[in-house]
Amino acid sequence: MCGIVGYIGNQQAEPILMDCLARLEYRGYDSSGVAVRENDKSNDIKIYKDAVRVSVLQKQSPHFNGSTGIAHTRWATHGPPSLLNAHPHLDCTGRFAVVHNGVITNYQELKRQLIKEGHNIVSETDTEVIPHLIEKFYKGNLEEAVKLTAALLIGSYAIIVLCKDEPKLVVAKMGSPLVIGIKDCEKFIASDTPAIINYTNKVVYLEDGDFGVITEDRVVITRNGEEIHREEKKVNWCKEDAQKTGYDHFMIKEIHEQPKVIRDMILEDALSDSKLTIGEDVQSLKIIACGTSYNAGLIGEYIIEELLGIPTTVVFGSEFNHRRAIFPNEAIVITQSGETADVLSAMKTMQNAGVKMLAITNVPGSTASRLSDRTIYTRAGPEISVAATKSFIAQLISLYQLVLLHPDVDNNIREQLVTELKDLPTKVEKLFDLEPQIIECAKYIAQCKDAFYVGRGINFPIALEGALKLKEVSYIHAEGYAAGELKHGPFALLNKGVPVIAIVAQDGNHESMLISIKEIKTRDAYVIALADEEDDSIDSSIDVVLRIPHTHALLSPVLHIIPLQLLAYYTAKLMSCSIDFPRNLAKSVTVE
Ligand code: G6P
């Protein structure tokens, strides 16, 4: 999991590369590096890299004078973070520099052969074989050398190649994402669109097997030796989407964007595209996702079974190919990035088995959208913070919409839910009034070692997601449980003062939640309850009650997750954690 960028144009490349790279740090940030082709007679490739984050690289790197370059932010897979393992990688002569995202699975074999042939390979990475192979095959035509090299690579790659002898960049893609941004006399290449939206919103998405030769004013894409046309697309994201715009962190900015995300998603026409629902004759469904998207999938499972009665199971993308696959009639794939390797590999298996797939993704042109039969694009805008917030809400809204579009939903319930959906943005805005109270809770949690989250029914996945958020950004051990399960084990861990965050929805589980809370309080735990503003049954023994605006029980997860996102954020902030880029985590996990 790495981020790669390239620039060719009429400006100094280095500051642009650094700026783009900083926006890709969510893909990894244990090392970074930049290479620029000098604008002088030598055309030498100048390189600076280290096991540091982009902000440090930016300060330390000497300023290179050149308008063509490449850069990389790394998430170590082969070889620990170190200067030698950082990208870009060079060949023996220093004429070729390469940045790579993906994994070359046959690199050991290629490396052995190259060493036998006298190449000096200095890193432990899988990537370094690429510049050496290009060196071996180069006969005055970079594109040809890259093609010959790619023919030997097994695994996944998006690569950008810089050559001292040719004023161009050559790219190749197989299994890892690559997008080219187009602007008059400038071209930008990146793993993902947010990296380049500061410069252009016109993009071309490459497909697996594509090669590209990019000069200041042209992009030539070839495939199987033939030149092909790939449509230029306009991205509806703006510069501000990829900036903090006055907020301390992307996470809190993105939490605050949620009312707008819901508004944008429930536009009048969103509930009218009857293609974007589950087929009428579907007997069973599987939902495939990872991480936060998996938790959204669990809520999807609940509403599909509740409103449509279609048996549904949710499977981790990472588990799908590791057990006997019982193929459903249809599958829903939920993935913010559309690039999670485990999800894509499950999708490929389902594609081969002829399963119809509907993808819910936030990234136009992503691999998941291309592998699926139909795609619902969530309108969350680019999400930069590694911990997903607004994309989760957007996934939930998509799931509600796709279920409500199904003809089997009872008309009365549909009407009620559509009306309530439209009121959600205002109710979410009201939730932000809770921030001072949530900061007080965060002060309590920040000094604890563990935290438990409990919910029932449709809010059980919210307990999982609340706990996941806290773990991700504050590194406090947190677990989400179905409230009734506490007594089957976790009770052993409850003692005086342990925080338990309880979601008390106004639904059929209300009474049993109150009973669970009584049991928890008996163990002297510190209970923070999320309770409906109209709920007057909340016991005075509960330590903190966060009052949540009333909505339809089936929509309550949308309102319950937001205070929990805020709780995680403020706890991490009090603990001075690296909130947007938590240790050991990356936003898009593009390796299996
Ligand atoms: C990573 C991210 C999570 C995300 C998960 C699935 O682990 O850190 O925030 O939920 O991947 O990503 P996807 O893009 O498939 O939703």
As a three-state string, the secondary structure of 521-584 is HHCCCEEEEEEECCCCCCCCCCCEEEEECCCCHHHHHHHHHHHHHHHHHHHHHHCCCCCCCCCC
* Residue among 293, 316, 369, 465 to mutate when testing ligand 1 (max atoms within 8 A of CB): 293
> Smallest Cα–Cα separation from 355: which of 303, 278, 302?
278
User: Residues 7, 69: contact at Cβ < 8 Å?
Assistant: yes
Note the pLDDT of residue 268: 57
Task: List, for the chain, all residue ranges whose pLDDT scores fall below the cut of 50.
Answer: none
> Smallest Cα–Cα separation from 231: which of 214, 219, 217?
219
Helical packing angle, 390-404 and 556-574, nearest 10°: 170
- How remote is the CA of residue 586 from the centroid of ligand 1, in Å? 8
Cβ of 565 less than 6 Å from ligand 1: no
Cβ of 293 less than 6 Å from ligand 1: yes
160-181 burial, b at 16+ Cβ within 10 Å, e below that, comes to bbbbbebebbbbbbbbbbbbbb
Torsion 271-273-279-285 (CA) sign: negative
Please tell me whether residue 485 adopts helix, strand or coil conformation: helix
- How remote is the CA of residue 482 from the centroid of ligand 1, in Å? 23
Which tens digit of pLDDT belongs to each residue from 469-523? 999 999 999 999 999 898 888 778 888 999 999 999 999 899 999 999 999 998 8
What is the C-alpha to C-alpha distance for residues 563 and 566, in angstroms, rounded to an integer? Answer: 5
Is 587 a catalytic site residue? yes
Q: Which atom of ligand 1 is nearest to the CA of 289?
A: 15
What is the C-alpha to C-alpha distance for residues 576 and 277, in angstroms, rounded to an integer? Answer: 43
CA angle 208–391–232, rounded 5-degree value: 40
**pTM (2 decimals)?**
0.82
Note the pLDDT of residue 489: 83
Cβ of 291 less than 6 Å from ligand 1: yes
Beta-bridge mates of residue 100:
159
Note the pLDDT of residue 261: 95
Element (H, E) at 147: helix 142-150
Note the pLDDT of residue 573: 98
- How remote is the CA of residue 62 from the centroid of ligand 1, in Å? 35
Cβ of 378 less than 6 Å from ligand 1: no
Note the pLDDT of residue 269: 60
Note the pLDDT of residue 28: 75
Residue whose CA lies nearest to ligand 1 atom number 2: 587
Q: How many CB atoms lie within 10 A of CB 40?
A: 9
Note the pLDDT of residue 271: 66
What is the C-alpha to C-alpha distance for residues 427 and 524, in angstroms, rounded to an integer? Answer: 33
What is the C-alpha to C-alpha distance for residues 206 and 211, in angstroms, rounded to an integer? Answer: 8
Cβ of 587 less than 6 Å from ligand 1: yes
Structure token digits, residue 189: 């290449």
- What is the number of H-type helices and E-type strands within the chain? 17, 25
* Residue among 255, 290, 378 to mutate when testing ligand 1 (max atoms within 8 A of CB): 290
Is 111 a catalytic site residue? no
Note the pLDDT of residue 589: 79
